Amino acid sequence: QPFDLIIFCSSLVEELQISTTKHQIIFQAQEQRLLLRLDEKLLRHILTNLLSNAIKYSPQGGVIHFDLIPRTDEVIFVIQDEGIGIPKSEQEQLFNSFHRASNVGIISGTGLGLAIVKKSVDLHRGKIVVDSEVNVGTTFTVTIPLNN
């Protein structure tokens, strides 16, 4: 059963925005409506994890951009924050269970979120890529193929 991905993402952002006043989550999509057949639970899990990380690892607050880019055969989600960033040499290991970067300081976590996200993305035969600079910010890009 297809559902509207734009409405789905907007309400997810609304839910998460309630948890913080220091951050402004800006959701942008190029379409008004986007009816797709995707696993809603899996998608909610992936996006909630990435957006919660963006909030948690931006302790000073700031803007979080969440962009939805629909293509003919795939959909791309981009989540960008202005937080603590991830040292280049550690970026590859982040998808391994229990790995936490050396610059997390007192921010707590188990190091499992991204490992599970990676598994969920793999289940969709998708891709997840990180681009980050310490003290500048982090961008996660998730590409999910559409099989119609």
Of 24-32, 40-48, 68-76, 98-106, which segment contacts ligand ATP by CB under 6 A? 98-106
**Minimum distance from CB of 114 to Mg ion (Å)?**
6
81 backbone φψ class: left, alpha, beta (φ>0; ψ -120 to 50): beta
**Minimum distance from CB of 116 to Mg ion (Å)?**
9
> Exposure of 11 by Cβ count < 10 A (0-12 exposed, 13-18 middle, 19+ buried)?
exposed
If one counts every other C-beta atom within 10 angstroms of the C-beta of residue 138, the result is 24
The verdict on 80 binding ligand ATP (CB under 6 A) reads no
6, 12, 64, 94: which one contacts ligand ATP (CB under 6 A)? 94
111 backbone φψ class: left, alpha, beta (φ>0; ψ -120 to 50): left
Q: Which does 143 bind (CB under 5 to 8 A by kind): Mg ion, ligand ATP, none?
A: none
The verdict on 66 binding ligand ATP (CB under 6 A) reads no
Q: Which does 26 bind (CB under 5 to 8 A by kind): ligand ATP, Mg ion, none?
A: none
The verdict on 86 binding ligand ATP (CB under 6 A) reads yes
Interacting residues with Mg ion between 106 and 125 (CB under 5 A): 113
53, 80, 120, 138: which one contacts Mg ion (CB under 5 A)? 53
**What is the torsion angle, in degrees rounded to the nearest 10, for the CA atoms of residue 45, residue 35, residue 19 and residue 64?**
90
x-or-dash string of contact with ligand ATP, 100-129, rule CB under 6 A: xx--x----xxxxxxx--------------
